[in-house]
Structure 1
């Protein structure tokens, strides 16, 4: 075979027909070979990991978790009446998150610490620690020592007296207990419900149960106190506001009455101004007076025409006055006149006009006619007086109406301002009544506060430890050991400085691989193939010990 293009002294790698193909594929056989060679390293690391996991389980104190559940009832029906479903959902989520923040607050934790005196409880303040935690604490102490931080002393404690120092230490201990309690507490929402799960983990199951119960009770009391405080503040604010509204309402009512008195805007029971009522009455009287004037004027003109016609026709026109009070006198005179006229006619018929009796009767008849005419003149004069009186009354009423109309116009202009003042007074009165009713409701609710939280699952003593979880720790330790062993095995493979396969010789040294040689005292060496001999006689061999 011809090897002229492949000089062996320059260590140029020999071309391989499978080299380009191998770059595109994972050599599974090689990986399995590497795994087989490093199996002991991986197994040892896995065993070490399991051993460390067992040590961790044996040196870590058991943790017990106590759980309580509370229900948040915000009365969402009222909210859904006014807002959409999406807004109600966002409101519910915000409410639950707000309640969780209240549970995690330092104020609630401080109440639990004070109630259970946790800052004086040795099991709470100094719980058992695992070896890992002790080691970490020791390292932190060393680092703090070299950094020069005095973590066990409060700032400025050296410059105060004993009482103040004691108070500072007590406050710092209480704050530390609050911080520890907040760290160990867990408050989570149960699925999408309005239920919040409160849990606390401790090495003492009785302590975990007591803290969880105290937290649930403190949260319930906090909700009741919040409702009471809000109602109390509302009642105090409403009381002060009621005083202002009462004074404002009274001042507005007095302003209305004062304005009405100053402008003479008195009103009757129907709310009508007296000036308007007076104007209406005067208009009614004017209508009556105009009718009287027209009636008296007609009678006066009628009798005046009778009188102007003379006494000759007085007897014929005197029938018009038959319905008047003086009609009896005229009727008597007319009766006498008719009797005299009849006798005169008889005498003249029997004895002639020149008869003395006829002359006497004619004179008497003329005298009676004159009396009738005189009565008609008196009636005419009476009607003239009545006409003048009615006319004067009408004129007086017109003057009064003109004056009353001017006053009514002024009163109507003032009535606009009066209505404005009256509306303000009524609005203040209505507002005062509204605030008064709300104040009564707030006063009733203050003595009967109702919380929106109730405990649906009380904390119970945990029967088994919640941590550390044995299977999880062992599984994690095994996985970490396997990963560490795989890392060490890969490191050993890549750091090797000898050949294991014929491909390594061809790829790295650029030599032709002849075959394998057995180890001394081992089995027979494999026969080398004739095709593997180089042209210049330079060969490379690999003993079985190097495989």
Structure 2
């Protein structure tokens, strides 16, 4: 059998491409081999982690959680909203965050501390601690001692008397209880609902339940007090503002009346100025006066024309109305004139014009006609007087209208300022009425002790401890132990200084790997049972025959890995 000669004294460089190609892949078989080799280390660390978890469970006091749920419901104060003009906004995420901040505020914590006297409760102030917490506290104390810290001392307490010292200690204890309760209380919103959960965890389940109930009650009382305080402050502010508005409104109204009186801008029931009303009345009277003047002028001209035509035609043209003052006299004279004329005509027809009776009747007829003409002259003169009176009245009305128009113009100019003052007065009056109604609403709202928060789930006594959780602690301890064991195993593999495979020879040394040379008969001593051991506990030495048999392995098994490696090395 021919074998190639290998330069055993020289390193054989490996191709770089193959090396880079091998580094791009994860050798799962190698990882499994590493895991199998380090299985004991990982198992030991896992057992240690479980043991530490059991110790933590045994040394950590149990904690009990009590939870209450409150609902922020805007519909609860609907009765108040119906009488109040203040608009209510929709609950938003920011408002719920504000409610959570109120629940975890120092003021609410102080109310609970005072109600339950937690600053005097040793179970709250000094609860049992776990060994881990005690160790951390001890380390902090040591560090504080070396740093010279005196955080536990109250500044200035050594310079005061005993009563003041006790008061300072009591105040500091109360403040510590408030800070402790404020940091330990839990408040959070349940999903996207309008429900907020309030919880507290304590070693004593009764203490946790009492604190949770007190917190829920204090939150409801705080909401009611906040609503009452807000309405009370609003009412007080509105009351002071009402006094100012009432005085301002009165001053504005007095300014309007004073300006109206100074400028004579009195108005009637319809709100119209008296000067405008007077001007309108004068215009109406002027129209009537003009009609009367025209009528009087027509009558006067008519009778004047009759009188100017002579006495003969005056009788024929005169038409006296029954409403005239001389109508009865003239009508009587005309009747008499017609009777005389008829008798005169009969006498003249029977006896002739020269008859004495005819002459007497003719004279009487002329006398009656003269009387009628005289009456017409008097009537014409009366109509002339009426016409002159109507003209004078019309002119007087025109003069009055001119004067009233000038005064109305001045009043209208002054009325601009009056309107401005009146608008200011009305605005202040309206504002005063609005604030008055708001004040009445705020006063009424104080009598409605209705808030927007109600308890939907009261705190109950917890039946089981909320922490520490056994399964979770053990699982976490096991996982941490496994991770620690994996870390130690990887560290052991990284710090190895021997070769396990041929790839290690080629990668780290850079030489050609000749092959594996297994141990012959090495497993017999391990496979031997305790019963096969001699009484002194030592393995019997190998016989000479067994040694010779092991030396003939390459001859007896020429195809074995042992023989192949020897031939390859040769």
With normalisation by structure 1, the TM-score equals 0.89
Q: 1:309-347, CA deviations, whole angstroms, 9 ceiling, x for partnerless residues?
A: 122323223344665221222222223322332333333
Instruction: Name the structure 1 match of 2:98.
Output: 98
Secondary structure at the aligned position of 1:200 is classed as strand
Cα distance in 1 for partners of 2:512, 2:351 equals 206
Instruction: Name the structure 1 match of 2:562.
Output: 528
More off after superposition, 498-507 vs 222-231: 498-507
Tell me if structure 2 keeps the 8 A contact 1:512–1:534: no
* Counterpart check, 1:133 vs 2:118: no
Deviation at 1:16, TM superposition (A): 11
Deviation at 1:519, TM superposition (A): 7.6
More off after superposition, 160-169 vs 179-188: 160-169
Cα distance in 2 for partners of 1:40, 1:341 equals 175
Instruction: Name the structure 1 match of 2:480.
Output: 480
Deviation at 1:417, TM superposition (A): 2.6
Instruction: Name the structure 2 match of 1:331.
Output: 331
Tell me if structure 2 keeps the 8 A contact 1:238–1:439: yes
Cα distance in 2 for partners of 1:311, 1:18 equals 164
Instruction: Name the structure 2 match of 1:213.
Output: 213
Tell me, which stretches of 5 or more residues in structure 2 are unaligned? Answer: 79-88, 525-549, 554-559
More off after superposition, 460-469 vs 10-19: 10-19
Tell me if structure 2 keeps the 8 A contact 1:13–1:511: no
Cα distance in 1 for partners of 2:383, 2:165 equals 121
Q: 1:522 to 1:319 in 2, by over 3 A?
A: closer
Q: 1:351-371, CA deviations, whole angstroms, 9 ceiling, x for partnerless residues?
A: 333333333332222222211
Q: 1:308 to 1:472 in 2, by over 3 A?
A: same
Deviation at 1:75, TM superposition (A): 4.3
Cα distance in 2 for partners of 1:331, 1:215 equals 118
Cα distance in 2 for partners of 1:436, 1:67 equals 46
* Counterpart check, 1:516 vs 2:550: no
* Counterpart check, 1:274 vs 2:268: no
Instruction: Name the structure 2 match of 1:118.
Output: 118
More off after superposition, 153-162 vs 488-497: 153-162
Q: 1:188 to 1:431 in 2, by over 3 A?
A: same
Cα distance in 2 for partners of 1:333, 1:152 equals 141
Q: 1:425-446, CA deviations, whole angstroms, 9 ceiling, x for partnerless residues?
A: 2222222222212211111111
Deviation at 1:222, TM superposition (A): 0.5
Cα distance in 2 for partners of 1:184, 1:322 equals 117
Q: 1:291 to 1:16 in 2, by over 3 A?
A: closer
What does 1:239-254 correspond to in 2, within 5 Å? 239-254=239-254
Q: 1:262-321, CA deviations, whole angstroms, 9 ceiling, x for partnerless residues?
A: 222222222222222222222222222112111111111111111111223232233446
More off after superposition, 290-299 vs 409-418: 409-418
Tell me if structure 1 keeps the 8 A contact 2:77–2:450: no
* Counterpart check, 1:404 vs 2:372: no
Secondary structure at the aligned position of 1:513 is classed as coil
Q: 1:169-212, CA deviations, whole angstroms, 9 ceiling, x for partnerless residues?
A: 22222221112112211111112110001110011111111110
Q: 1:472-523, CA deviations, whole angstroms, 9 ceiling, x for partnerless residues?
A: 1101111111111111112112212223334434443425434325389656
Deviation at 1:168, TM superposition (A): 2.7
Instruction: Name the structure 1 match of 2:233.
Output: 233
Cα distance in 1 for partners of 2:20, 2:279 equals 123
What does 1:15-34 correspond to in 2, within 5 Å? 22-34=22-34
Q: 1:130 to 1:366 in 2, by over 3 A?
A: same
More off after superposition, 103-112 vs 428-437: 428-437
What does 1:330-479 correspond to in 2, within 5 Å? 330-479=330-479
With normalisation by structure 2, the TM-score equals 0.86
RMSD of the TM alignment (CA)?
2.6
Instruction: Name the structure 2 match of 1:73.
Output: 73
Secondary structure at the aligned position of 1:71 is classed as strand
What is the number of equivalent residue pairs in this alignment?
A: 525
Instruction: Name the structure 1 match of 2:317.
Output: 317
Secondary structure at the aligned position of 1:465 is classed as coil
Cα distance in 2 for partners of 1:47, 1:527 equals 40
Cα distance in 2 for partners of 1:506, 1:305 equals 162
Q: 1:367 to 1:49 in 2, by over 3 A?
A: same
Q: 1:342 to 1:111 in 2, by over 3 A?
A: same
Tell me if structure 1 keeps the 8 A contact 2:76–2:451: no
Secondary structure at the aligned position of 1:462 is classed as coil
Cα distance in 2 for partners of 1:387, 1:373 equals 21
Tell me if structure 2 keeps the 8 A contact 1:505–1:513: no
* Counterpart check, 1:35 vs 2:35: yes
